[in-house]
A and B are shown apart, each in its own frame.
Chain A
Amino acid sequence: LLFSRQGKLRLQKWFTPLTDREKKKVIRDMMMLVLARPPRSCNFLQWRDLKIVYKRYASLYFCAGLEDKDNELLALEVLHRYVELLDKYFGNVCELDIIFNFEKAYFILDEFLMGGEILETSKLAVGVSMEEADTLQETMEEYMSKPAY
């Protein structure tokens, strides 16, 4: 989940099937728990049977739910890697980029993770895939980084 300090959702990726209502509840709970944390707390907390890892980048909170056997410290690295990928693609990414180009954010995520697991560990490779896929888009307009859909 990506959400802002004001509690606005910017991106959601679910790897287990939940009903819409359940998803909304989880989102609400996560926002409540994470936004309430004091500034210099530990980045991990326990919620039901999941380990929640979150990190704040500027005005956005990146929040992930892990299973028990997953490595929390590594999850922080995963979050960081995703931010790096976004940064490379958009060039100094900021929250507005993600708002206006949310579908791109999803495409990038889908080149990095699949089914909750890491797909590609090379930053370069992800960048290349995105570039090439973008060229396949049918019109010049749609190819450019800030297309007018």
Chain B
Amino acid sequence: MALPRMPAPIRLRELIRTIRTARTQAEEREMIQKECAAIRSSFREEDNTYRCRNVAKLLYMHMLGYPAHFGQLECLKLIASQKFTDKRIGYLGAMLLLDERQDVHLLMTNCIKNDLNHSTQYVQGLALCTLGCMGSSEMCRDLAGEVEKLLKTSNSYLRKKAALCAVHVIRKVPELMEMFLPATKNLLSEKNHGVLHTSVVLLTEMCERSPDMLAHFRKNEKLVPQLVRILKNLIMSGYSPEHDVSGISDPFLQVRILRLLRILGKGDDDSSEAMNDILAQVATNTETSKNVGNAILYETVLTIMDIKSESGLRVLAINILGRFLLNNDKNIRYVALTSLLKTVQTDHNAVQRHRSTIVDCLKDLDVSIKRRAMELSFALVNGNNIRGMMKELLYFLDSCDPEFKADCASGVFLAAEKYAPSKRWHIDTIMRVLTTAGSYVRDDSVPNLIQLITNSVEMHAYTVQRLYKALLDDISQQPLVQVASWCIGEYGDLLVSGQCEEEEPIQVTEDEVLDVLEGLLVSNLSTPVTRGYALTAIMKLSTRFTSVNRIKKVVSIYGSSIDVELQQRAVEYNALFKKYDHMRPALLERMPIMEKTASNGPTEIVQTNGEAEPSVVEAKHPPPVTQPTNQANDLLDLLGGNDVVPVIQTTVPTKPASAGGELLDLLGDLSLSGGPAPAPATSVPSSQPAFLLDGLTSPPLFNDIAAAGIPPMTAYNKNGLKIDFTFERANPNPNIAVITIHASNSTEADMTDFVFQAAVPKTFQLQLLSPSSNVVPTLNQGTVTQVIRVLNPQKQQLRMRIKLTYTHKGSAVQDLAEVNNFPPQSWQ
């Protein structure tokens, strides 16, 4: 008894029509799922009649984005079928659904082999096509022999397909290249354009891959004359409707031949000479009114530039590119700019002739063209044209889209540095960039600019004056503000004294300058980094200006700033005023001229894949001094790491040598053995608490844990980072609490670059020793420890503000917290 048959699966077109009526994605998905289910059961039934139809439907659904892998085996069955219709769909399915990654393709090899020997050329064609598109290396190895056989057939339909299939085989298995060599002997004597074209492609592939092949074809086969002849015939021959494109005979073949000639002529004088004439002919005779002609000219130019052509020909090529630049068609202008970029290194002068056209392209509306024009313009800048070019480039900077500004600014800086005709011009140019594109300037330019400015000694007054004026106008562009603040800090005295020679000196008082700098500190527009610059600038002015009191006031206000960085600086500067006033002038002296420590790479365009990218970004490495303004801090920071109040004793220059050594020991290692001599006490006002210096021969103090008996506490616990404090009392000085922090990390990623900073109220003094490491390992596998000593002579309640910075899972994290839960025993 026959099983009831399922109704015939719906037709492909019907399915497509149905699916298109779906109004929502959900509706479509439902239809597809239903149909897939039907198809699956049909496959299970091994229905030969409708398999083809079902696979076709599956391919349609696959194109819409739905999974179709269950159809892979069915494709193989179709390929094995005798029906042409089945094979056609089967092979299509194989090309769409399978690639060399799947194992199924191995099963295809036998089918393909059979089909390659089929009596019908269209079946053979299907097999060649599929093999040539998705054949894996194994398949290629197995079937290469068959392909080679077909390459020698007289059937041009098959020959051309075999040629391209051979190209694929060679790409997958380069070692097999040799085997195709004999078959190539008379490929070029074919009349059929299809065969000619594919043969040229095959020869190109062989020459590109193997220098031996290349040499062989040059000498033995006399390939160049053959190609020249074919090309000549193409150009000279009359109209051929079959191959004509807008009046040009088979442009595809022409271009391919030109490309092969390029490879043959490169680096070879004889070959290049043999093709000079034809290249000149093509270059001058090709119609340029349509895209087709220009495509051929483009390829010709590329060939001329690559081979050893005579100079007349090269000039011809560049002139063609110059003409392209004036063409109305955007594509052609784009292609011209790209090619000029490639040739600007070797034929610099010739390209220079077209400079004005290139610069005009900067004003083009098209983004792709603008970018190319900008890159090319920078490549063309030299000592002679710098003034004119810079004018254009600065104008471009003003008006271009934000995506260009950063690159353009960097390019301008580099070019200015290399070719500036005068220092003043250089400064003016920098000013112009900072004021027009200031916010887009790269962060690393700020130190570079500062360095440049210090180097132009005679321009200091002029520079600071201009920067000051710029600040008056606009304080929103951070790089400008930072550079300006730095300069005012350094050269403020020149500003106030009105010494400028280059232009009319402005009248400005010390108070006005301080107003501006203070304005920066309070403005919402200033970033923390900028504020840092401003504060340090104010501090430096204390040695250059007379209104020191005002400066002192400002500095002390910021001693309690919320921004820990600012607070740290302010407190240190305060200390400088109070205790180390005698050191102040020396510390805040004029900066010496900075040496350029890194090599400034050439502005050359770096060629990558023929696409040129300006190397302006990578070429400059900022000098290692990342914050020149921090020099004042560095001394104070010497040993303390991240102190709020630095260890003062170590910086006092007038202490006995013996004590000095021990002090350094003290800070380098945790034990207090051999306490440092209190000799500093004699040179320092007696009101200073004897920090850790009491007791010349005090025994190691850290082991007195039990004596203290202070319970530990958790100071911070957030985002997986936990910081515990454990306490010890440092004998003999009961005013000192020694706190050890233990930082642990419960997340699944390490916290690297971990930095712990602490600040205490003014009545305390704090010393922070080096941490055990700066990586807090994941999942509590270890802790980072660090020792803090707090001196609390007035026995006030201990409070602390801490700042944590670290990198976690690739992003930087920063957090501030207050610690108020100290156990009473720690400070009583």
**Interfacial chain A residues near B161, Cβ < 8 Å:** 114, 119
| Interface pair A122/B295, CB less than 8 Å apart | no
Given A49-B609, A115-B132, A119-B160, the answer on whether A73 and B84 have CB atoms closer than 8 Å is no
> Is B193 a contact of A122 with CB atoms below 8 Å?
yes
Cα A136 to Cα B302 in complex, Å, equals: 45
- Which residues of B lie under 8 Å from residue A49 when comparing CB positions? 609, 611
**B788: shortest Cβ distance to chain A, in Å?**
51
Within 8 A of A (CB), among B15-49: 16-17, 20
- Would A44 and B331 count as touching, CB distance under 8 A? yes
Measured in the bound complex, the distance between the Cα atoms of B52 and A119 in whole Å is: 27
- Cβ of A103: which chain B residues have Cβ within 8 Å of it? 56, 59, 88-89, 92
Per-position binary interface string of chain A over residues 13-42, scored 1 when its CB falls under 8 Å from any chain B CB and 0 otherwise: 011011100001000000000000000111
Residues of A within 8 A of B60 (CB): 102
- How many residues of B sit at the interface, in one of the four size bands? 35 or more
**Interface assignment of A125: CB less than 8 Å from any CB of chain B:** yes
Known: A44-B368, A68-B610, A121-B243. A115 touches B164 (CB 8 A): yes
B122 x A114 contact (CB < 8 A): no
Secondary structure at the B interface, as helix, strand, loop or mixed, is helix
Stretch in B249-257, B471-479, B697-705, B716-724 touching the partner? B249-257
Q: Is the CB of A114 within 8 A of B133?
A: yes
Tally of contact residues, A, Cβ under 8 A? 59
Within 8 A of B (CB), among A101-149: 102-103, 106-107, 110, 114-115, 117-125, 129, 132-133, 136-139, 142, 146-149
Are A73 and B331 closer than 8 Å at their CB atoms? Answer: yes
**Given A42-B331, A115-B165, A129-B157, CB of A73 within 8 Å of CB of B610:** no
CB–CB B243/A110 < 8 A: no
Other-chain residue from B198, B243, B251 in contact with A117 (beta carbon distance below 8 A): B198
Smallest CB separation, B824 vs chain A (Å): 61
Write out, one digit per residue, whether chain B residues 351-378 have a CB within 8 A of any chain A CB (1) or not (0). Answer: 0000000000000001111000000000
B63 close to A (CB within 8 Å): yes
Complex Cα–Cα for A127 and B199 (A): 21
Interface bits B50-89 vs A (CB < 8 Å: 1, else 0): 0011001001100111000000000000000001110011
Neighbouring A residues of B302 by C-beta, 8 Å? 71
Q: B609 contacts which chain A residues (CB < 8 A)?
A: 49, 68
Contact A124 B242 (CB under 8 A): yes
Assess the B611–A46 pair: CB atoms within 8 A. Answer: yes
Q: Which residues of A contact B168 (CB under 8 A)?
A: 114-115
The residue that A121 contacts in the complex, of B12, B250, B291, B332, with Cβ under 8 A, is B250
Of B13, B366, B369, the residue contacting A100 (CB under 8 A) is: B13
With A77-B295, A136-B84, A149-B53 already in contact, the answer to whether A125 and B129 are too (CB < 8 A) is no
Question: Does chain A have a CB within 8 A of B134?
Answer: yes
CA A42 to CA B53, docked complex, whole Å: 42
Do B164 and A117 touch (CB < 8 A)? yes
Q: What chain B residues lie within 8 Å of A147 (beta carbons)? A: 13
Judged by a CB distance under 8 angstroms, whether B201 is at the interface is yes
Cβ–Cβ contact B63 & A102, under 8 A:
yes
A68 touches B334 (CB 8 A): no
A119 CA to B12 CA in the complex, in Å?
29
Interface positions of A from 37 to 92, Cβ below 8 Å from B: 40-46, 49, 68-69, 71-74, 76-78, 81
A75 CA to B194 CA in the complex, in Å? Answer: 17
Interface check B806, CB cutoff 8 A: no
State whether A42 and B252 are in contact (beta carbons under 8 Å apart), knowing that A68-B610, A107-B92, A120-B194 are contacts in the complex: no
B432 close to chain A: CB less than 8 A: no
CB<8 Å pairs between A and B, sample of 13: A45-B368, A102-B60, A114-B132, A114-B168, A118-B256, A120-B160, A120-B194, A121-B193, A121-B197, A121-B243, A136-B122, A137-B84, A147-B13
Q: Which residues of B approach A to under 8 Å, CB–CB?
A: 11-14, 16-17, 20, 52-53, 56, 59-60, 63-65, 83-85, 88-89, 92, 96, 99-101, 120, 122, 125, 128-129, 132-134, 157, 160-161, 164-165, 167-168, 171, 193-194, 197-198, 201, 241-243, 245, 250-253, 255-256, 259, 291-292, 294-295, 298-299, 302, 330-335, 366-369, 609-611
List the 10 closest pairs (A to B, CB-CB), nearest first.
Answer: A73-B295, A149-B12, A120-B194, A136-B84, A42-B330, A114-B164, A122-B242, A74-B295, A17-B99, A115-B168
